[in-house]
Structure 1
């Protein structure tokens, strides 16, 4: 809203009005504003939740050998994150930009889905929360909305990069003057690093373009579901999901900025995405909101984000990566989320395979994988066999959290390096 106001004032030669035309200026204001909103509003919100006695049910004490006993800690803190994202984006973003609109829809959609889950857990005292099938329906529905919007909207275009040989056989990258719709995406570590989904269904002949978009929509649904669930699983320790997601957000912001700048896109030999500069403003609000929330969520947590927060931030990361055609970088950038997902899947599969044989067996001490590191050997079931039992002693959750942050920082650096190493 402020963008349009100052755009009007710029026409009247109002001093300083042109500043709002710069993405860098609006992005910095967005991160500061989001941080202030989440930190100031957070304090009032925590007080309100405590007064209303809206808190998470006591967590399983057997998981925590240090007996932290997080009883009475308010939940639904994801509302703080959502509010701190929406307000700066509505004030500073261009609301006629299709990418900004998609990110705002994603925020509200998954925020509502997560809120319903937390509401059932907290007020209905049902530990299962929203039934799993409804979560999947919500995530698949969002994937369809995002995928079909990117397919149908005329504003969603790219300009392909082309090698251009100059004097002395030097090679420069130029972009086609004509913007076009495309199902291309970036493959890490390959020189000619664009993959077109339509090429994977070349056997469809003249229908391959349409089939390519169908495949793209299916990939979108899968990525949104996987990353939102991964972030949800990662939210098991104080500050874990918020810190990891903020680091991932910084990386996505860098990728979005270079993709929206034709000179940087040419230098890095990546596709140029007109209009994606507004995503930088959104991701800055995302980062600021998470950092402000971390003020209260760091150990010992004064509030939990709940599914309201974890489902939302995971979905936002997924949709953001899809919009800038970097979804194939997610296994690297969101490696922690991937491992959390895989640990649960493998644990369940291994346990069920043993059950068929009449034996009790598990791969890890506990899952998701972060719980494996805070479980001692003394806490294990003596009637069950375990494949991985190290470390024998448990780590404090604050140490596990910081180490997961470090791993995410390394993965973020590798993700950025993929722009040059290929």
Structure 2
């Protein structure tokens, strides 16, 4: 809004550039996060705000949640740099409300821990409620907010349900047009799955951060090109007017996450928490819907999807057969437990680093594959 105001007053063309506003958003969010994280971490340590019942590093235990600071920085930066339209408003609504749900979850964890320390509850009670609010309540809130935003987007964003990109197919004859009764459940499902997927992935230091950034890079490139009629026509992809207004939000997320990774790199000083993971996951989900690339989530968002699926399969298998498919879910914990059985991997830090870096490499490779498929392979 501020950059748009300055453009109206000065008519400097650079201020009207989406690439410029995105660059400004990325830099501002990164610098702001780098300055704000140290005092924020210091404050949380003073208040002993973390969900770990058993201390492992004493005063150096990672605190939580970073997501509350994410919310402040990303919303502030977006308000400065973004030009508000239906896309931007919808994305911010999802981000704010999903972050609030995650923050409430984080607060419940911290409160439960405090009750155990005071002797008001047992360790077993804490372990039973270690995930904060119940999964069913979380899912109900995700669905309620997602349906509301989906209906509003369907009403106010022209042709949002038309010509959805499908990998390996051409826009000329194969891109489907979804009716209301399919589009609303699809959009709701995508947002809820991504919110849960990112939350499940956020188990090791930096594990969720890099795949979120690779998704943002993909979404930013698609949003920028899809908003230009000549480029979209030449590349045979749907033309989506004004979707590039989402770029400053994407830039804000990337800048904030880069600063977060600075402090989250092992051994971490702060962790994302549900307020960060759920909010960013839901936002990534709605951005995939807006750029009409939801069917590219199995490629670019593979890490989040496979983590989500591993949890669903584990729960379904245990409830129906009494047996577990994985040693532990989500999937990164399965690899963790499997590597512990190998005498070669005799260090927990080494195990986590191996898994994390391999997931990062996969997410970067799949970003490249996703871009190749989106633009060329049809």
Q: TM-score of the superposition, structure 2-length normalised?
A: 0.88
Q: Please give the alpha-carbon distance, in whole angstroms, between the structure 1 residues aligned to 2:301 and 2:97.
A: 22
Q: What's the counterpart of residue 9 of structure 2?
A: 9
Q: Work out which of the residue numbers 306, 314, 332 in structure 2 matches 1:370.
A: 332
C-alpha displacement of 1:182: 4.3
Q: Work out which of the residue numbers 186, 191, 194 in structure 2 matches 1:224.
A: 191
CA contact (8 A) 1:333 1:411 kept: yes
CA contact (8 A) 1:80 1:293 kept: no
The change in CA–CA distance for 1:230 and 1:302 in structure 2 (over 3 A counts) is same
Q: Secondary structure at the match of 1:184?
A: coil
Q: What's the counterpart of residue 96 of structure 2?
A: 108
Task: Say if 2:372 is the partner of 1:417.
Answer: yes
Q: What's the counterpart of residue 239 of structure 1?
A: 206
CA contact (8 A) 1:248 1:412 kept: yes
Q: Please give the alpha-carbon distance, in whole angstroms, between the structure 2 residues aligned to 1:278 and 1:267.
A: 21
Alignment of 1:276-355 (within 5 A): 276-355=243-322
C-alpha displacement of 1:261: 1.4
C-alpha displacement of 1:408: 0.7
C-alpha displacement of 1:414: 1.5
Q: Please give the alpha-carbon distance, in whole angstroms, between the structure 2 residues aligned to 1:88 and 1:288.
A: 10
Q: Work out which of the residue numbers 101, 108, 112 in structure 2 matches 1:120.
A: 108
Alignment of 1:85-96 (within 5 A): 85-95=74-84
The change in CA–CA distance for 1:71 and 1:339 in structure 2 (over 3 A counts) is farther
CA contact (8 A) 1:183 1:213 kept: no
Q: What's the counterpart of residue 184 of structure 1?
A: 163
Which has the larger strand fraction?
A: 1
Q: Please give the alpha-carbon distance, in whole angstroms, between the structure 1 residues aligned to 2:198 and 2:150.
A: 21
The change in CA–CA distance for 1:186 and 1:408 in structure 2 (over 3 A counts) is same
Larger Rg: 1
Paired residues in the alignment total 358
The change in CA–CA distance for 1:398 and 1:70 in structure 2 (over 3 A counts) is farther
Q: Please give the alpha-carbon distance, in whole angstroms, between the structure 1 residues aligned to 2:135 and 2:35.
A: 34
C-alpha displacement of 1:90: 0.3
Task: Say if 2:99 is the partner of 1:98.
Answer: no
Q: What's the counterpart of residue 17 of structure 2?
A: 22
CA contact (8 A) 2:94 2:146 kept: no
Structure 2: 5+ residue runs without aligned partners?
114-128
Q: Work out which of the residue numbers 42, 63, 75 in structure 1 matches 2:37.
A: 42
CA contact (8 A) 1:256 1:279 kept: yes
Please, what is the CA RMSD of the aligned residues? Answer: 2.3
Q: TM-score of the superposition, structure 1-length normalised?
A: 0.80
Alignment of 1:53-92 (within 5 A): 53-58=48-53, 72-92=61-81
Q: Secondary structure at the match of 2:176?
A: strand
Q: Please give the alpha-carbon distance, in whole angstroms, between the structure 1 residues aligned to 2:344 and 2:319.
A: 25
Structure 1: 5+ residue runs without aligned partners?
12-16, 62-66, 159-180, 198-211, 356-360, 380-388
Q: Please give the alpha-carbon distance, in whole angstroms, between the structure 1 residues aligned to 2:355 and 2:59.
A: 17
> What's the CA shift string for 1:67-89, capped at 9, x where partnerless?
88997321111112222211111
Q: Please give the alpha-carbon distance, in whole angstroms, between the structure 2 residues aligned to 1:84 and 1:377.
A: 38
Q: Secondary structure at the match of 2:337?
A: coil
The change in CA–CA distance for 1:24 and 1:323 in structure 2 (over 3 A counts) is same
Q: Secondary structure at the match of 2:63?
A: coil
Q: Please give the alpha-carbon distance, in whole angstroms, between the structure 1 residues aligned to 2:249 and 2:100.
A: 19
> What's the CA shift string for 1:178-208, capped at 9, x where partnerless?
xxx64331111012341112xxxxxxxxxxx
The change in CA–CA distance for 1:130 and 1:70 in structure 2 (over 3 A counts) is farther
C-alpha displacement of 1:351: 2.9
CA contact (8 A) 2:345 2:351 kept: no
C-alpha displacement of 1:415: 1.2
> What's the CA shift string for 1:268-314, capped at 9, x where partnerless?
10111111111111111111111111111111110011100010111
Q: Please give the alpha-carbon distance, in whole angstroms, between the structure 2 residues aligned to 1:407 and 1:233.
A: 17
> What's the CA shift string for 1:312-331, capped at 9, x where partnerless?
11101100011111111111
